[in-house]
Amino acid sequence: MSIFSSIFGKKDNNVKVIVSTPGLEKAFPVDTSKLHLKGTPDVNGLYPSELVMLAVAEKYNTMETNFPSYFMNNYEIANPAKMLKNLQSKGYIEVGSSKDSLGNFKLPELKEIATFLGITVKGKKADIISRLSEVEEEHLAQFVKERNWKLTDSGQEALKANPYIQYFLEKHPYNVAEVGIDIWTVNKEFVKNPKRPFRDIIYKQLNDRMNNASIALQKDPARGSSNSYQYCECYRLMSLFVEEEGKSYINAADLYFQYIFKRINIHAGIQLLMNYSLFKNDKKYQNEMVERYYDDIQLYPFHKTELLRLIDELGIDGGAVREALITSFKRAKDTGIMTENEIADFVILELNGESDKSRDLADKLVKKAIKRIR
């Protein structure tokens, strides 16, 4: 049963409630607010926050006290310097050599060291570092007082065993945290089965949140737009996640087309029709909602960028784009303010920059839909 028909028709009462249990043993309470060891430790006893610091350790010198705020904001690491010292005591990092720390110096400083050591200063920074690296450690150490941390073999193995850590340190053209997926949720599932690809875990969590939002939306459509937003946004995130893998642009595009369809008919459409019925005695507000419909469904610049990129990856243009959109929309098995063909026309007008025509189309169709529920 489609979401639209279930909300305005028969509802599905077979809703399962899943209750999660804490991962830490109650017999050994831990004040994680002080230790910042949130999550589940891996086989070596390392928590996500420790693994994060391990992954970035070589960027910092051993005397560093000024760390970026994202350590606390994103990973709840209040004292990075102390955590690095702790990782050293556990044998995961060590004090690097003088050569390991040459990258910290600016070009004029490197040239000065090279001059003192009788080494040519010609070339770029990398060239000078390369020549200085050939100097014996005891001579170079006289000029390099601050040392960087360096991963030990154990540290390298620990990161290799937890590849999801690097994923959350990288920049992506999307943010799974928008729907509640973060390093902690992935950590919990990854520790259960370390051999399972972490990207499979992330995709499943996206899919689960989409399904849960769908159930919540069908169960209580009057709750507000948060469920419909999450339901639709999960499709967008899954699309960009699949695109990033580069394995199937067809699937990535189909998921994004589904996102556009559901954003127009489910998120914006359902909310409008429900509020229109709810405020039937307030004609002024009803008219405002109808006039605002286009603003809620228009394609923003980031939508156009993502959509055009996926269309380009498919290698289609012209009428083939419209057909691809319609084919995908039909798989949604949902109806609403716009039909599959109408949404396809609306999207193409938006992509072509013909916003006046797409606004007129949206206004015409929403007024037509309103007449059906009066």
Q: Are the beta carbons of 353 and 298 closer than 8 angstroms?
A: no
**Any domain includes 78:** no
Do 257 and 129 fall into the same domain?
A: no
Nearest Cα neighbor of 231 from 246, 221, 242 is 221
Instruction: Tell me how far apart the alpha carbons of residues 111 and 329 are, in angstroms, rounded to a whole number.
Output: 62
pLDDT in tens, the chain (374 residues): 555 455 444 444 333 333 333 333 333 343 444 455 799 999 999 999 999 999 999 999 899 999 999 999 999 999 999 999 999 999 999 998 887 778 778 888 888 888 888 888 888 999 888 888 888 877 777 887 788 899 999 999 999 999 999 999 999 999 999 999 999 999 999 999 999 999 999 999 999 999 999 999 888 776 667 889 999 999 999 999 999 999 999 999 999 999 999 999 988 887 777 776 666 777 776 777 778 889 999 999 999 999 999 999 999 998 999 999 999 999 887 778 899 999 999 999 999 999 999 999 999 998 888 876 66
107's tokens? 């070009």
Task: Give the pLDDT score at 278.
Answer: 64
Do 225 and 117 fall into the same domain?
A: no
Task: Give the pLDDT score at 21.
Answer: 34
- Which residues lie closer than 8 Å to 85 by C-beta, 6 or more apart? none
**Any domain includes 242:** yes
Task: Give the pLDDT score at 11.
Answer: 40
Do 259 and 365 fall into the same domain?
A: yes
**Any domain includes 36:** no
Question: pLDDT digit string (tens) for 279-334?
Answer: 677 777 677 777 888 999 999 999 999 999 999 999 999 899 999 999 999 988 77
Do 332 and 191 fall into the same domain?
A: yes
Element spanning 233, H or E = helix 226-245
**Any domain includes 112:** yes
Do 278 and 194 fall into the same domain?
A: yes
Task: Give the pLDDT score at 85.
Answer: 96
Q: Are the beta carbons of 362 and 294 closer than 8 angstroms?
A: yes
* Collapsed DSSP state (helix, strand, coil) of residue 21: coil
Do 365 and 250 fall into the same domain?
A: yes
Q: Hey, what long-range contacts does 187-190 have (CB within 8 A, 24 or more apart)?
A: 187/39, 187/40, 187/48, 188/23, 188/39, 188/40, 190/162, 190/164
Do 266 and 211 fall into the same domain?
A: yes
**Any domain includes 74:** no
Q: Which domain holds residue 136?
A: 97-146
Do 212 and 272 fall into the same domain?
A: yes
DSSP string, 156-183: HHHHHT-THHHHHHS--SS-GGGGT--H
Do 122 and 195 fall into the same domain?
A: no
Task: Give the pLDDT score at 283.
Answer: 73
Record the pTM: 0.83
In this structure, how many other beta carbons lie within 10 angstroms of the beta carbon of residue 216? 17
Instruction: Tell me how far apart the alpha carbons of residues 58 and 149 are, in angstroms, rounded to a whole number.
Output: 5
Do 243 and 358 fall into the same domain?
A: yes
Number of structural domains (the chain) is 2
Instruction: Tell me how far apart the alpha carbons of residues 119 and 141 are, in angstroms, rounded to a whole number.
Output: 16
Do 236 and 331 fall into the same domain?
A: yes
**Any domain includes 290:** yes
Nearest Cα neighbor of 113 from 103, 128, 100 is 128
Task: Give the pLDDT score at 284.
Answer: 78
In this structure, how many other beta carbons lie within 10 angstroms of the beta carbon of residue 290? 17
